[in-house]
Amino acid sequence: MASIAGVYTALSGLNAHRRVLDVTAHNVANQATPGFHRQRVDLKAGGLGAVAAVFAGSGQQVGGVVADSVTRIVDQLAEDRYIRESALQAGTQALSNDMNRIELSFAEPSDQGIASLLDGFWGGWTDLATMPGDLATRSQVLERAQTLVDGIRVAAADLQQVATTAQESLVGLAADANDLSSRIAQLNKAILGNPNAANDLIDQRGEALRELAQLTGAVARPSANGTIDVSIGGRTLVSGDIVQRLNGAGGVLTWANDASNVDAGPSRAASLKNTIEVVVPKYLTNLDTVAATLVTDVNALHNAGFAQDGVTTALDFFEPGPPVTAASLALSVDVVGQPENIAAAAAGGASFDGDLALSMAAVADSVTGADTEYRTLIGNLGVETREAFRRESIQENVTQSARATADSVGGVSVDEEMANLMSAQRAYEASARVLTTMDELLGVLMNTGRVGR
Amino acid sequence: MRVTNSMVVNSTLRDLNLSLSRLQDTQTDLTTGRKIRRGSDDPTGASAAMTIRNQLRRAEHEARSLDDAQAWLSSADTALVTGLEVLGAVKETAIRAGNTGSGNALSREALAKSVENMRSDLLTLANTKYLGRPIFNGTAAPNADGNAYDAAGVYGGNGAAVSREIAPNTTVAVNMTGEEIFGVQGAPFGNVFDVLEELASAIRANDTTRMATAQTELETATTRWSASTAEIGSRGARVEQTAFRAADTDLMLRETLSKLEDVDIAAALMSVKANENAYTAALTAAAKVIPPSLVDYLR
């Protein structure tokens, strides 16, 4: 009887180690799969009756090995941290991308930016002061002014474009987030239905959750039954297999069912919102101030001066608004196409007086003038962009270390798998050897009658 | 800490990436020749660079303004110096006329004619133009003939100064008005042209009293003329000084800008080399670290 049981003990060894080999193969195959965590077969010694053997029954018998569960090895704390840091990184990355675009749209310091256009504009007035009677000189003041106006308007449009791009990308972001949350819900359902073979599903769900967190800053809370509930800003997005939809149309991320705003945590969505609502409006306002200062300063002087005829006065140079913004900046109808209406003279009746043009050129040096405002804008932009770059690079390091920590527990080490492979192979061989031995033993037993004969 | 293959791959990739991006940075420094290409490269430096660029462009316009100021002043100077010679000749003629006493009418007529000719020479000088604009006309538009003075010696200009900005917040008047140099018109002894007209008429009339008065007035006009010449000359010297200084300032600004923005080629080359070495080393290390695993040693 015992001998027969031994056959089954050996068989349990063969089965268990085949399983170990399978799982090892699975690990090796998935060593580069994103979100995959290595798995281990839990081997335990089978007690009495644990072996499905008909004849196992009496006395203290050994029962072979049991391999009925496969554990996914994971440090949940490290995983959660990795997800959180990934979300933060997505946020810092989006911000630094936007800052980069804003900075490039100003192209300073260079000989092509608004600063140089401003210099050219004031220089036009210096030239006009030299030759107030020359129509060509007057025309080039207008030309330079128009170039400056175009430059400022283009910069405003570029800035606005950054916000528009962010708004448009919210639409795609909402679609991705909806897709991911549906996937999480489906996986929740699958895991609930198949709790014992869910390791790979959990890995897939973890990866989907990490992507979702990067997009929206979503956080997960595990339930007792193995599913997870996902929420954004305290409001539930996925509960079991029930999903709330997000909507990214109209430049804001909203909940589809009641159109209230999504309160996204640090993430790509939060960063886009910041770009749309804070960063771009701030620099647009700054640029508006530059334009408004320019218009106020120039018009105030220009109104006091006299046109070439020495009589016409109180003319505007720029369209005075109200209110002047960078996007609406324009030359006044008083001077467009009428260079003779540019006021170069400070006194009436003196066609060759260039003193007002001289005073105008000196506005460039005003500490409260457009040039100073613009330089301040560029200075602030430089500091803020640098800060965004630095934060991104720091966050990248932090995320990398969080990933390494999580990976250190759950990642596949090929060396280790090879060692496992070797030991499982040897164990399999040994079990086979035991089976052969049992067979021989039984053979001896069966042939006993003949020996006595 | 347990080390897994993906950790090794990730960190190696990241290190390679960092190393490569540093190499790219220094290479861009070298190819563009500039270390501040945008505000965030160095906000403080960029801000200073913008201010200096602004001053440089400003200086360009001022340089044009300076050239113009020099041209105005030297035109005025030439005209006035020539005028002084003419005035000297007038004086000689006046003295000769006084000495001739009641000489014959023919010679008096010749002397009077010569005074009148010199008067019209002076009028031509008073109508000296620069770029088509009479320089002793103030800021007013020229008269119908495009001149400051008409044939009768009537001034058509005003008393305003023509200013040029020759340095930041520094302007200089590059003209003197007709009335400042030649005097205010009014018979019989207003401006220098009136004086000469009176002198010619006195010579013709052989009126020694009038001739003597005219000679005194001529003396006054000459003094005023030469004072103006000196004034114009000293302004010219001032503008010239400023031009020298502007050239110095320009050089200094360019040097500062270059220090701020431009790459130290030698240092950048060294840094490229160093980064290149680091990158090659990282690649070599990666090539050694990534492939081997127990797989290679199991037979």
Chain A: residue nearest B170 by CA?
A362
Residue A331 DSSP one-character state: B
Contact status, residue B273 vs residue B49, Cβ threshold 8 Å: no
Chain B: residue nearest A116 by CA?
B54
> From the CB of residue A405, how many other CB atoms can be counted at a distance below 10 Å?
19
Greatest alpha-carbon span in chain B: 142
Q: DSSP letters of B119-181?
A: HHHHHHHHT-EETTEETTSTTSPP-TTS-SB-TT--B-S-S---EEEEETTEEEE----HHHH
| Separation between Cα atoms, residue A74 and residue A35, nearest integer Å | 11
Q: Answer whether B64 sits within 8 Å of A115, measured CB to CB.
A: no
Contact status, residue B115 vs residue B200, Cβ threshold 8 Å: yes
Residue spans of alpha helices (H) in B154-295: 178-182, 192-205, 208-261, 265-289
What pLDDT, on a 0 to 100 scale, did the predictor assign at position B187?
Answer: 65
Residues 6+ apart with CB under 8 A from A334: A315, A316, A317, A341
pLDDT reading at A60 higher than 70: no
Proportion of chain A above pLDDT 70, given as a percent? 94
Tokens matching residue B194: 């009136």
What pLDDT, on a 0 to 100 scale, did the predictor assign at position A3?
Answer: 58
What pLDDT, on a 0 to 100 scale, did the predictor assign at position B141?
Answer: 85
- When CB atoms are compared, the residue of B2, B36, B47 closest to A409 is B2
Contact status, residue B46 vs residue A378, Cβ threshold 8 Å: yes
B78 interfacial to chain A (CB closer than 8 Å): no
- Nearest chain B Cα distance for residue A221, angstroms: 27
What pLDDT, on a 0 to 100 scale, did the predictor assign at position A48?
Answer: 53
pLDDT reading at A4 higher than 80: no
| DSSP H/E element including A222 | strand A219-222
Contact status, residue B226 vs residue B181, Cβ threshold 8 Å: no
Chain A residues whose CB is inside 8 A of the B72 CB are none
- Nearest chain A Cα distance for residue B177, angstroms: 13
Tokens matching residue A207: 């990866």
Q: Answer whether A364 sits within 8 Å of B58, measured CB to CB.
A: yes
> From the CB of residue A309, how many other CB atoms can be counted at a distance below 10 Å?
14
What pLDDT, on a 0 to 100 scale, did the predictor assign at position B176?
Answer: 92
Contact status, residue A429 vs residue A20, Cβ threshold 8 Å: no
Domain B64-257, second-level architecture: Up-down Bundle (1.20)
- When CB atoms are compared, the residue of B68, B133, B160 closest to A133 is B133
pLDDT reading at A241 higher than 80: yes
Chain B residues whose CB is inside 8 A of the A358 CB are 163-165, 171
pLDDT reading at A450 higher than 90: no
| Separation between Cα atoms, residue B74 and residue B296, nearest integer Å | 91
- When CB atoms are compared, the residue of B38, B40, B294 closest to A418 is B294
Tokens 């007529």 -> residue: B109
Q: What is the pLDDT of residues A194-230, one digit of tens each?
A: 887 889 999 999 999 999 999 999 999 998 888 999 9
| Separation between Cα atoms, residue A193 and residue A198, nearest integer Å | 9
pLDDT reading at A234 higher than 70: yes
pLDDT reading at A171 higher than 80: yes
What pLDDT, on a 0 to 100 scale, did the predictor assign at position A442?
Answer: 85
Residues 6+ apart with CB under 8 A from A165: A101
Whole-number average pLDDT of chain A: 89
Q: What is the dihedral of CA A43, A47, A53, A56, to 10 degrees?
A: 150
- Nearest chain A Cα distance for residue B34, angstroms: 11
Residue A53's pLDDT band (boundaries 50, 70, 90)?
low
What pLDDT, on a 0 to 100 scale, did the predictor assign at position B299?
Answer: 64
pLDDT reading at A443 higher than 90: no
Q: What is the pLDDT of residues A394-438, one digit of tens each?
A: 999 999 999 999 999 999 988 899 999 999 999 999 999 999 998
- Sorted by where each begins, the domain ranges of chain B are 64-257
| Bridge partner list, B149 | B155
Selected residue of A95, A126, A363 to mutate for chain B interface (largest B Cβ count, 10 A): A126
Consecutive sets of 10 residues in chain B, 299 residues long: mean pLDDT of each? 84 88 90 86 87 87 90 94 94 85 79 93 93 89 88 87 85 90 81 90 88 90 93 94 91 91 89 91 85 71
**CA distances (Å), origin A330, targets A290, A311, A319:** 13, 25, 6
| Separation between Cα atoms, residue B127 and residue B137, nearest integer Å | 8
> From the CB of residue A224, how many other CB atoms can be counted at a distance below 10 Å?
5
Contact status, residue A342 vs residue A142, Cβ threshold 8 Å: yes
Nearest to B175 by CA among B130, B116, B224: B130
Q: Answer whether B62 sits within 8 Å of A418, measured CB to CB.
A: no
Query: Average pLDDT, stretch A353-362?
Result: 89
Residue A453's pLDDT band (boundaries 50, 70, 90)?
very low
Chain B: residue nearest A410 by CA?
B4
Buried b (16+ CB within 10 A) or exposed e, B78-112: ebbeebbebbeebeebbeebeeeeeeeeeebeebb
Proportion of chain A above pLDDT 90, given as a percent? 71
Contact status, residue A342 vs residue A307, Cβ threshold 8 Å: yes
| DSSP H/E element including A204 | helix A199-216
Q: Answer whether A364 sits within 8 Å of B261, measured CB to CB.
A: no
Q: Answer whether B58 sits within 8 Å of A351, measured CB to CB.
A: no
Chain B residues whose CB is inside 8 A of the A104 CB are 38
Q: DSSP letters of A127-180?
A: HHHH-TT-HHHHHHHHHHHHHHHHHHHHHHHHHHHHHHHHHHHHHHHHHHHHHH
| DSSP H/E element including A377 | helix A370-410
Q: How many CB pairs under 8 A join A and B?
A: 175
| Bridge partner list, B262 | B34
What pLDDT, on a 0 to 100 scale, did the predictor assign at position A50?
Answer: 45
Query: Average pLDDT, stretch A91-120?
Result: 90
Q: What is the pLDDT of residues A244-261, one digit of tens each?
A: 999 999 889 999 999 999
Q: Answer whether A362 sits within 8 Å of B165, measured CB to CB.
A: yes
Q: What is the pLDDT of residues A297-344, one digit of tens each?
A: 999 999 999 998 888 889 999 998 778 899 999 999 999 999 999 999
Buried b (16+ CB within 10 A) or exposed e, A428-451: beebeebbeebeeeeeeeeeeeee
B254 interfacial to chain A (CB closer than 8 Å): no
Residue A7's pLDDT band (boundaries 50, 70, 90)?
confident
> From the CB of residue B155, how many other CB atoms can be counted at a distance below 10 Å?
25
Lowest mean pLDDT among A53-62, A84-93, A339-348: A53-62
| Separation between Cα atoms, residue A148 and residue B147, nearest integer Å | 38
Q: Provide the phi-psi class of B43: left if phi over 0, else alpha when psi is between -120 and 50, else beta.
A: alpha
Residue B40 DSSP one-character state: G
